[in-house]
Every structure is written in structure tokens, then in C-alpha cells.
Chain A
Amino acid sequence: MSVDRESVLDAAAVRELLDRLAGDIVRFAGDRAHGLVLVGIQRRGVELAERLAERIAERHGVEIHRGALDITLYRDDLETVGPRPIVGETHIPVDIADREVVIVDDVLYTGRTVRAALNELADFGRPARIGLCVLVDRGGRELPIQPDIVGLQVEAGPGDRVDVLVAERDGRDAVELVHRGGA
């Protein structure tokens, strides 16, 4: 099986994209931007949400809450995939009832992770509205779920993989497309 890795965004381009997304989130939240809860999905959505929250505070002067969600326990495929190595932290810092919540994830693909995240958030309370912000939308949805705020659309085939790398975890920021030729 041949594997080739193609760069989609370098570190500078990722930073630029995050700048733009921060502004998009503030506009999306509108009147309810103050007190907004930005919830990153484990793993890399958490780092992206942190970066976005910093930008929103610095450049837009809006104080928001940051949360983290690990959706492992809400997956619908425990039987077939087996338990994940380690379940990450879930931390929702405030009561989300009647607040604006934006879910942040690195890549939107089938939509199943977002479905699980919506179910999990519902067990924490009833927000006024939930939005979805993703760095990359690669298409290929299996559920009727669409993002509200998108960094970049990438054309990726079913055998391909989109890797979002973040400096905190991976040592550098980048978006890469991994093609996997013939099985």
C-alpha cells in the first residue's frame, strides 16, 4: 500500500485561518458573544478551541468560557471498534443552559462525532443555541449535520485521511492530506 502525504496548509496559513475563524465565531454569536462557551472535542479540537478563545479575548475583547468534550462514551461503535486507548478529559466549566455554545473540531467527516457531542452536551443542559466550527470540512457526511463556521473545504476521497497537526501535541501546526493508494 502506497502512502503519500500532501501539504494543504503550513503553520502560517493555519494561524491566518484561526484569525479568521475567531472573527467568524464572534459574528456568529452576535449579541450572545459574551459568556459564549467554546467546547473543543478531544483531541485536537481542544487545542484549536484554546487558540480561538485566546484570539477572541485579545482581538475582540470578548471573554468566553472554554470547555473540553470527549465523546468516546457516547460513540455508537464500541462493539466494533473496541474501547479507545484512553478516554480524554471532559470539562464543561459553566452551566450551559440558555447560553450560546460553539463546538470546535479539527476535521468534519461523517458527522458521527458531532452527533455524539450533541447528545453528550444535551446531558449537561439545554443551551440557547449550539453552533459548529471546524477547521477542515472534508465532505463524506453520513448524517444530516453541517458546520456553521468552516476554515477550509478539502476534497478528500474515502480512502484518504486529513491530518490536522497542532504544535502543542504534534510539534508543528499544519493540515495535510494523506492519500492511500490501492489496498
Chain B
Amino acid sequence: MTSPALGKDLLGLESLTAEQIRFILDTAEPFKEVSERAIKKVPTLRGKTIVNLFFEASTRTRISFEFAEKRLSADTVNVVAQGSSVEKGENLVDTARNLEAMRIDMVVIRHPSSGAAAFLAERIRSNVVNAGDGKHEHPTQALLDLLTIRDRVGRVEGVKVCICGDILNSRVARSNIWGLLKLGAEVGVCGPRSLLPRGIEALGVRVFRRIEEAIEWADVLNVLRLQLERMQAGFIPSLREYYRVFGVTRERLARAPRDLVILHPGPMNRGVEIDSQVADGPHSVILHQVTNGIAIRMAVLYLLAGGRPELAEAAKRGGGADA
């Protein structure tokens, strides 16, 4: 049995095969159980040092990575841009090379520039995990969304998933679209015309102008956070207007021909893209996503840490049955 090795880094889902994505999801399954134990810790990454390098504010993703690292027994350090040498003008590569000189093993990076994770991965020996780079990708978020859909619906293939909100500027949308298409889901997007990328239909994605149509079509809605800056930048007239036209509300869901599953990557703007009755209602799997996020990140760190296929091959040739 050979495993589809991930290589050194996880930068996005666009570059992964369906087989690799399924492999990560399957590997995440047993990690769910570790978090249910009284002692939520396994020694798998003992002695590994992981730096969480966050050039952009993020509480949720950073905490989720940190729990995943600690539950695998890795040693972790958090570097946030504010108050560090980054603020003093040090560039990304110098920061990373300095950290690497301290003999770290992995970097989890969040950065406002698209491509920052790949740029770093090419320049350092450590494994790099993209925790969100600009408008490019946020692969672990999409993986945890896929895992949650698989948990709830039983499969991803053939499931109709509509991503709602600011598709144009969203790395979550981008990673989700790649992952869903590769696993054979049907993908739709819904949002104001000003926030939908031109030509997205060419990827095989359906475009819905009205949220009612999306709700009628979909099995799953992935409701994105509306970045409040978008309003200031003039993409939408007002938050109230957005809620009136695109808000996912209980009344709108009540008219759906089937029970929908509602995802949201958080943090939510209640009363803007989603109303509270939906967020806290029976169809919401939003907290399940948070729980799955730790299992997915544990799986990714585990797979990257052990990813030395040439040694694995040598061990298989020489060792024989394991005992």
C-alpha cells in the first residue's frame, strides 16, 4: 500500500490531486478521537519545533493550529507581526531564515500577500503550511469544510455546494472551489455581481444572482464572512441592504425543497450574511467545523513531518513485516 505523499509543503488545494485530498481527509479521521481522550495528546511530533508566523490577525486559525501542534506534542512558538522585528521592516525571508537558524522544523504562515507561502517554501528547508495567503488559498479551511460535508452528507461526490458571499476576494472560496471540484462535487457561487470573479463559469461553477435560487438548488451552503472593509470600498451599498438581499435567513431556508447543511468559516457577522436563528439552528454545522479543524491540521502536520518517501521505501525493502 503506497500513500500519495504530499511533499514538503501544503500551499493550496489547486496543486493537489483528488487522491491526495482524500488521503488527508482519511488521515484526519483517527485524529478526531485523540481530542476526545482525557489526555488529549499523542507523542507523534515530540521534539519537532513549529513556528506559527502570523502577519495578519487571526485568532481562530492560529488557536486551531496551536491545539493541533500541542496535541501532537510539538514545541510551538507564535510570532505575530505586531511588535516583532517584522514591524521594524525585516522582510519575510530574513525573518524565516533567522528562525530556521534556530533549527525549527515547520512554519505555519498567514500573510496578506497572495503567494507568500509559496515564496517562503522555495527559500527554506522547513516544511511550510499555508494558513491563508492574501486572496490566494486557505487550504486547511477548505479541507475541514470538505471533512464536515463528508461527515454530514456521507460523501462529497455529487453533492451540490453553493458558496455565498464575497467570492472575488476570498481565499476560503478559492480553496473550497478547487477541493470540491476535484472531489466531484457540483459547485455554485452566489453573491453581488461586484463580488463575483468574472469568467468563473469556465471552471464549471454555476453562478446564482439570487440567494433564493441558490437555496433551491443546493444541498450545502458555505456562507462566507462579509469583510466589512468591502462596504467601505464601495462593493456593496450597506450591510442592511446586503442582509436584505443575500442574508441566509430562517424564512428563506424554510422554502428550501430539502434540508440544507449550513457551513460558515467564522467569525460570523450575525444579521449580515447569516441570521442568528440559522447560525444556531439544527442545520448549522459551524461548531462541528471548528472541531474538525483541529483534526485536519493534526493530519496535515503529521503527514508533512513524516514525508520522506525515499526512507519509507528503503525501510519497506529491508524491514519486512512490522512487529
Q: Tell me how many residues of B have a C-beta within 8 Å of chain A.
A: 35
A80 touching B42, Cβ below 8 Å: no
Secondary structure class of chain A's binding surface, majority of residues: loop
Within 8 A of A (CB), among B1-20: 1-3, 5
Q: A73-B34, A85-B1, A88-B30 are in contact. Are A80 and B320 (CB under 8 A)?
A: no
Please indicate the chain B residues that have their CB under 8 angstroms from the CB of A61 in the complex.
none
Please indicate the chain A residues that have their CB under 8 angstroms from the CB of B164 in the complex.
none
Task: Tell me, in angstroms, the Cα distance from A159 to B307 when the chains sit together.
Answer: 26
Please indicate the chain A residues that have their CB under 8 angstroms from the CB of B323 in the complex.
107-113, 138, 140
Q: Distance in Å from the Cβ of A154 to the closest Cβ of chain B?
A: 12
Select which of A73, A83, A160 is within 8 A of B43 by beta carbon: A73
A80 touching B43, Cβ below 8 Å: no
A123 contacts B by Cβ under 8 Å: yes
Interface string of B228-259 (1 = CB under 8 A from A): 00000000000000000000000000000000
Q: Distance in Å from the Cβ of B316 to the closest Cβ of chain A?
A: 8
A162 contacts B by Cβ under 8 Å: yes
Please indicate the chain B residues that have their CB under 8 angstroms from the CB of A70 in the complex.
30
Please indicate the chain A residues that have their CB under 8 angstroms from the CB of B34 in the complex.
73, 90
Task: Tell me, in angstroms, the Cα distance from A84 to B44 when the chains sit together.
Answer: 12
Interface positions of B (Cβ within 8 A of A):
1-3, 5, 23, 26-27, 29-31, 33-34, 37-39, 41-45, 72, 302-303, 305-309, 311-312, 315, 320-323
Q: A81-B315, A110-B323, A161-B320 are in contact. List 15 more A-B contacts (CB 8 A).
A: A73-B72, A78-B44, A78-B45, A79-B311, A80-B311, A81-B306, A82-B5, A83-B302, A86-B27, A86-B30, A87-B31, A90-B30, A109-B323, A113-B323, A123-B37
Interface positions of A (Cβ within 8 A of B):
70, 73-75, 77-91, 107-113, 119-120, 123-125, 138, 140, 159-163, 180
